């Protein structure tokens, strides 16, 4: 059974706004990915200590989709994610 909790509407709006800002930040970081791909390079993102791997992966995929890119996200090591264009 799923956990249920009640939150205030303004908390939901703040969370949505924060998520939107994170996606925009990743969009900026992914803009040069096609050029890196042509050069045979991979972009690596270092996770912040409080970031979850799955959350960052979702944000990266959302940002890439909004840019019209198809990406693959790989776990580089314990706190890094590598991103490549999907071929």
pLDDT in tens, 45-78: 998 888 888 999 999 999 999 999 999 999 988 8
- Asked if 50 and 18 count as a contact pair (C-beta separation under 8 A), the reply is no
Mean local confidence (pLDDT), 25-44: 93
C-alpha–C-alpha distance, residues 26 and 38, integer Å: 20
**Does 4 or 43 have the greater pLDDT score?**
43
Sheet holding 71-77, edge to edge: 43-46, 80-85, 71-77
Of 10-19, 20-29, 38-47, 70-79, which range is least confident?
10-19
Please name every residue paired with 71 in a beta bridge, in sequence order, or none if there are none: 85
Using pLDDT thresholds of 50, 70 and 90, give the confidence band for residue 31: very high
């Amino acid at each position: 059974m799923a956990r249920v909790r009640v939150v205030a509407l303004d908390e939901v709006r703040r969370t949505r706004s924060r998520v939107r800002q994170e996606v925009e930040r990743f969009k900026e970081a992914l803009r040069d990915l096609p050029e890196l791909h042509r050069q045979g390079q991979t972009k690596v993102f270092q996770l912040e200590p409080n970031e979850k791997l799955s959350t960052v992966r979702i944000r990266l995929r959302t940002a890439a989709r909004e840019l019209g890119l198809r990406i693959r996200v790989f776990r580089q090591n314990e706190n890094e994610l590598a991103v490549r264009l999907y071929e």
